Amino acid sequence: MPALCHLKPAISRMSDDKKLTSRAEDFSAWYNEVVLRAQLADYSPVRGCMVIRPDGYGIWERMQRALDDQFKATGHRNAYFPLLIPESFLRKEAEHVEGFAPEAAVVTHGGGKKLDEPLVIRPTSETIIYSMFAKWVQSYRDLPILINQWANVVRWEMRTRLFLRTLEFLWQEGHTAHVTHDEAEVETLMILGLYRRFMEEHMAMPVLTGLKTHSEKFAGALRTYSCEAMMQDNKALQAGTSHNLGQNFSRAFELQFQSESGGMEFAWNTSWGVSTRMIGGLVMTHGDDNGLRIPPKLAPTEVVIVPIWKSDEERARLLEAANNVKQALTSWTGRGHDGIRVHVDAREGIKPGAKYYEWELRGVPLRLELGPRDLQSNSCMVARRDGNFIGPAPAEVPGGKAPSRKAVLSLDGLPTAINDILTTIQSDMLAAALARREANSHREPMTYDTFRELMEGDGGFVYAGWNGDPAIEAKVKEETKATIRCIPDAEFRSKDAPTTCMVTGEPAKHEVVWAKAY
């Protein structure tokens, strides 16, 4: 089928070279190679769409599970609203149309006939959801409504990147309706905090939270808050958003309720979402020149066991031993009902070293090597994907050679030891990512000239004063490609907050964080 000829990834020097393009050499080529070769995703026959492969989807499933538990714990329930939305719905909220009309995919035909009214494939579901809420709400007693849905959405983007920006992507969108503005604001901020904790604790990806400026907020929202992460090329990735929608959609869809005092009032709404884009963030936060590194909590496979044998007799013995170790780990109850997720690489005809490289590329946090000598001593060799020592670093090695980063662990009590190491990896990854972000954040007094040089060079996050004028924001974007990522929440602000606007020298209205962004 000639139509499939464009499926070739646009990547140079991939197959004839076992090594990845390095991050320093070409960060975006590196990213594409990691995503493809770690088998997270592949290109689809349709431009801008992607297939999420089992290893990528496995990460998504773990993200879903952790988030879904949190949504449920905070009183939300899942529902599902349809993919197709009447085009007229999109038009009912002025800012919303403006924001999404250009990137809407529209269905004009069905059943072989032209439709009376075109249907839009949801770019987001505010319109259909609040129109339904309007049917379900009569009284303040019906509020709040706390709904979440896991769904796919379509936005006809011009330039696409695997996971970061595709025409179709998977996400979760929460939609709530409340009696008061303040209650909606509390919900918006609660979810923002929930996202932040998820990104730190599960993704090991530090984020700063804050308020979006008017030009960067969601079309149709009163206020948008976001989580912003720093990738290894020092660009910002907006990893999650939480919106206080005010009464904009309530008014558009007549979502009214009778209040305690008997009058009719419009409900106050929030919406919030995170998407498969987070997987791209994970790759660009933790990956190295050997490939992917997945934090244990999100890794579909936490431990890979590579048995080593020479003869057939040894092979049988080692495979049995490997499976016994796997059994001990998967059935371990030390962290509740979920055992440790283990894979035994029993493939023949591939040397152990080749397997090591492959599992490192694919990001498995911990590798366990099991050979005849280990069996003899009732132990195994363990290596951390993040390259850190297991236990304290050896003080010195004779001959000045680099000390081995593998450690010998006894097979007795192995699950506990492995679990401890996984926990350490998880926290070390967060600490490393946090240190990297801080090392590339600039809180020193900054002139606009210095800022421009910085944005032409290494980039990073720049904390600076802003007079609050959208025209200045636009000018900086025009001149440097950097945008205001957010007006940071209190805990992220500088101790000595800038008092003047970086560009005009006028009194600063806010301290803001500037960066180039994905």
- Residues in the site for RNA, rule: CB under 7 A? 2, 5-16, 18-19, 46-48, 99, 102-103, 155, 157-160, 164-167, 169, 218-219, 226, 238-241, 273, 275-277, 308-310, 315, 348-354, 356-358, 360-361, 369-375, 380-381, 383, 406
List, in order, residues 6 or more apart from 84 with CB less than 8 Å away.
107, 119, 120, 121, 122
Please give the Cα distance from 322 to 337 (Å, whole number): 22
| Residues facing 51 on adjacent strands | 42
Residue type (1 letter), 304: V
* Rounded least distance, CB 138 to RNA, Å: 33
List, in order, residues 6 or more apart from 154 with CB less than 8 Å away.
105, 121, 122, 123, 167, 168
* Rounded least distance, CB 266 to RNA, Å: 24
| Residue 362: DSSP 8-state | T
**Residue 111 or 349 with smaller CB distance to RNA:** 349
**Residue 143 or 422 with smaller CB distance to RNA:** 422
* Rounded least distance, CB 261 to RNA, Å: 37
**Residue 11 or 190 with smaller CB distance to RNA:** 11
3-state SS assignment for residue 78: strand
| Residue 114: DSSP 8-state | E
Q: Following DSSP, what letter does each residue of 272-332 receive, concatenated?
A: EEEETHHHHHHHHHH-BTTB----GGG-S-SEEEEE--SSHHHHHHHHHHHHHHHHHHHT-
Please give the Cα distance from 151 to 169 (Å, whole number): 8
* Rounded least distance, CB 334 to RNA, Å: 25
* Rounded least distance, CB 510 to RNA, Å: 20
3-state SS assignment for residue 459: coil
CB contact burial 341-378 (16+ within 10 A = b; e otherwise):
bbebbeeeeeeeeebbebbbbbbbbbbbbbbbebbeee
Residue type (1 letter), 76: H
* Rounded least distance, CB 348 to RNA, Å: 6
* Rounded least distance, CB 271 to RNA, Å: 11
* Rounded least distance, CB 183 to RNA, Å: 24
Please give the distance of CA 61 from its chain centroid, rounded to a whole number.
12
**Residue 179 or 368 with smaller CB distance to RNA:** 368
**Residue 218 or 266 with smaller CB distance to RNA:** 218
**Residue 150 or 357 with smaller CB distance to RNA:** 357
**Residue 279 or 503 with smaller CB distance to RNA:** 279
* Rounded least distance, CB 238 to RNA, Å: 4
**Residue 174 or 371 with smaller CB distance to RNA:** 371
**Residue 163 or 268 with smaller CB distance to RNA:** 163
Contact 293, 286 (CB under 8 A): yes
CB contact burial 290-308 (16+ within 10 A = b; e otherwise):
bbbbbbbbbbbbbbbbbbb
Strands (DSSP E) found in 313-410: 342-344, 366-370, 379-384, 407-410
* Rounded least distance, CB 122 to RNA, Å: 12
* Rounded least distance, CB 89 to RNA, Å: 19
Please give the Cα distance from 455 to 449 (Å, whole number): 10
Please give the Cα distance from 162 to 287 (Å, whole number): 15
**Residue 213 or 276 with smaller CB distance to RNA:** 276
